[in-house]
Amino acid sequence: MESALRPSRTRYGVIVFAVMLGIIHYIDRVCISKARPFIQSDLGFDDTQMGYVFSAFTLAYALFEIPGGWLGDKWGPRRVLLRIVMFWSLFTAATGYAWNLASMIVCRFLFGAGEAGGFPNIAKMFSVWLPQREHGVAQGITWMAARWGGAFTPLLVVWILGFMSWRNTFVLFAGLGVVWAVSFYVWFRDNPKDHKGVNAAECELLEEAQKNLSGGHASIPWKKLFTTRSVLLLWVYYFCISYVWYF
């Protein structure tokens, strides 16, 4: 009887998916730094042109984080993460098919726009699937895993480039995102009560978190938001720190 009343632990599955996505995030964004000499040799880019390529990602990433989070609030992480992870995986693969500077910049900008919604939607997922007391630990584990992904990516890319072209390397990494997106969509539910692995006791544990279910913000003053000094400074800050951090 006591075991029947014990909350199931299905909620920890969201942490597993978040950790995997955090690692994929950093693999996909950092790999270009180690592929850089091969890209320059193949496409004839100089250092300034590669700077434009790197900047395209960081600019899009800074600009689209807020809209990406808003989509998660409006439609729920299940639908949004499926779409944005598939979207950025498409442009990760497309990076391997770039033929000139313009096509490379477009691919990296759209890739960054997709990746921008990842972590805001992970936060949304945690807010619904985890009790408040577990949010900090879940975020810490996810961020640690993401940084770990960024740390081992250079070694991984160098190893892969030993037997595969830089173009095929991007296609390979894109496949990781596709596998994650499909697996996540099959397993995850925006409302824990809709998941067959969550028992009544765990639902009760998450009762307070149910207030954070998708419904979105009634009205967003986008014009005011995009012209607010603090938001503009935040975008500039994130653009600058991301460039130095990733590349």
215-224 confidence digits (pLDDT tens):
555 566 666 6
| Residue 91: inside a domain | yes
With cut-offs at 50, 70 and 90, classify the pLDDT of residue 230: confident
| Residue 3: inside a domain | no
HSE-CB of 62 using CA atoms within 13 angstroms: 20
What is the spatial distance between Cα 152 and Cα 26, in angstroms, rounded to a whole number?
Answer: 9
Q: Is the pLDDT of residue 83 over 80?
A: yes
End-to-end Cα, the chain, rounded Å: 56
Give the pLDDT mean for 141-158.
87
Are 84 and 124 in contact by the 8 Å Cβ rule? The answer is no
CATH number, position 95 = 1.20.1250.20
**Which of 18, 14, 31 lies closest to 157 in space, CA to CA?**
31
What's 208's DSSP letter?
G
Q: Give the whole-number percent of the chain exceeding pLDDT 70.
A: 84
Q: Which two tokens stand for residue 184?
A: 């996540």
How far, CA to CA in Å, does 69 sit from each of 112, 113, 124? Answer: 14, 12, 8
Q: Compute the C-alpha angle 138/139/141, nearest 5°.
A: 65
What is the spatial distance between Cα 14 and Cα 235, in angstroms, rounded to a whole number?
Answer: 29
Considering the entire predicted model, what is its pTM? 0.86
| Residue 2: inside a domain | no
Q: Look at the chain and report how many structural domains it folds into.
A: 1
What is the residue range of 199's domain? Answer: 9-246
Q: Give the whole-number percent of the chain exceeding pLDDT 90.
A: 62
| Residue 41: inside a domain | yes
Q: Which two tokens stand for residue 159?
A: 């190893």
198 backbone dihedrals φ, ψ, rounded to 5°: -95, 120
